[in-house]
Amino acid sequence: MTVTQLPLVDFGLFLHGNEDQREQAAKQLVESFVNHGFVRLKNHGISRDFVKQIWHWDRAFFQLPDEVKMKIVHHPGSNLQRGWCRKGTETTSKLHKENAENSPKGKGELLDEKEHFDCGPRGDSEFPNKFPSEGDLPGFKAFIEQYFDIAQEVSRHIMRACEVGFGMPRNSLVERCIPSASELRMLHYPPVSVERLQTGTIKRAWPHTDFGIITLLFQDSLGGLEFEDRNKPFTFVPIISSDENELIVNTSQTFQRWTNGVVKAGLHQVNVPPELRTAKEGYIPARYSSVFFLKAHREVSVGPIDQFVTEERPPMYPNITALQYQQEMTEILY
């Protein structure tokens, strides 16, 4: 059976409903996570006006001259991403062996056609944030810090819903995310020529899974995000949103490890929107998106939680800290 669209869950029922409504919404959420690794949410708690501000600041940052963005450039390595990552720096193709197996042979490295800005929690002394100066982009830092706090709170509500959906003790997931070690990312996918995409070595983002617990994502009206149809492995279905205020949420590797493989990380890519794929020449327009990676506290184990370990399902993953795991995976990206 082919999957054509993701479930849309009214998360307002969990946030504001009675006990039965909360349980119903939580079970719908968990069911979609288990089946698809993805879900769409409405009434999630982030206002329409605030989402419009996300797009304003996303565009404002990437319209800065490169020499201004270079002041806060991220240097590749195992350190967590902070500041501006230039186009071609992060290579998601390295995260999934099928990318290399399915690529044209002898045509060079598989590159991502994107640039992004990354930050962590405010006051992070271990991996300090890098922001444009107030002289270069006034108001940006204040907005991003506000956005980070809002997204962290929404993510915690989603974790609480997962606790209900899985019948887990209250705060058993939420407490693993305190203090915050999450990351916020603003993305810009520049216009790209059809001819360049047809080489088979360039993609806006190659098929990959994220490292954290869950990822919250808003994408602009152009779209392009696709999730794997698990009935047809390594085939992808466009995520169509009728409303830019819909929040797309995918499961990530830490959640897969915690649940001992019960919830698998959602494999996804960023592709050319379906209506533009027949073009033989010209340019695919720019795309903007924003993602929030909910991460576990850095000293928390990302090994399986006891509830998901049984004789029939022994531990599938070792007990290492969230920071160790993040640094191992980040080094692969660069």
Domains defined along the chain, listed by start: 8-333 (2.60.120.330)
Predicted confidence (pLDDT) per residue in 171-230, tens digit: 999 999 999 999 999 999 888 887 877 776 777 778 899 999 999 999 988 878 999 999
* pLDDT at site 100: 44
Write phi, then psi, for 267 (nearest 5 degrees). -75, 135
Question: Quick one: tokens of 110?
Answer: 């598989």
Predicted confidence (pLDDT) per residue in 8-28, tens digit: 999 999 999 999 999 999 999
- Between CA 77 and CA 83 the distance in angstroms is 14
Predicted confidence (pLDDT) per residue in 14-67, tens digit: 999 999 999 999 999 999 999 999 999 999 999 999 999 999 999 999 999 999
Task: Identify the residue whose tokens are 């009206």.
Answer: 221
Mean pLDDT in residue range 219-244: 89
In this model, does residue 322 exceed pLDDT 60? yes
Cβ(237)–Cβ(40) below 8 Å: no
Instruction: Give the up-direction half-sphere exposure of residue 102: CA atoms within 13 A in the CB hemisphere.
Output: 11
Amino acid at 43: N
In this model, does residue 103 exceed pLDDT 80? no
In this model, does residue 94 exceed pLDDT 70? no
DSSP annotation of 66: H
Mean pLDDT in residue range 227-237: 92
Instruction: Give the up-direction half-sphere exposure of residue 106: CA atoms within 13 A in the CB hemisphere.
Output: 0
* pLDDT at site 106: 47
Task: Identify the residue whose tokens are 């806060």.
Answer: 72
DSSP β-ladder status, 247-251 and 38-42: antiparallel
User: What percent of the chain is predicted at pLDDT more than 90?
Assistant: 70
Question: Quick one: tokens of 125?
Answer: 């002394």
Q: Going by C-beta distance under 8 Å and a sequence separation of 6 or more, which residues neighbour residue 207?
A: 92, 96, 98, 99, 228, 234, 236, 267, 268, 269
Mean pLDDT in residue range 292-309: 97
Q: How confident is the model at residue 95 (pLDDT cuts 50, 70, 90)?
A: low
* pLDDT at site 89: 66
* pLDDT at site 105: 47
Predicted confidence (pLDDT) per residue in 259-280, tens digit: 999 999 999 998 877 777 777 7
* pLDDT at site 334: 55
Closest CA to 144 of 326, 294, 292, 298: 292
Q: How confident is the model at residue 97 (pLDDT cuts 50, 70, 90)?
A: low
Amino acid at 244: E
* pLDDT at site 99: 46
User: What's this model's pTM, rounded to 2 decimal places?
Assistant: 0.92
Predicted confidence (pLDDT) per residue in 107-151, tens digit: 456 667 789 999 999 999 999 999 999 999 999 999 999 999 999
* pLDDT at site 236: 93
At 223, is the secondary structure helix, strand, or coil? coil
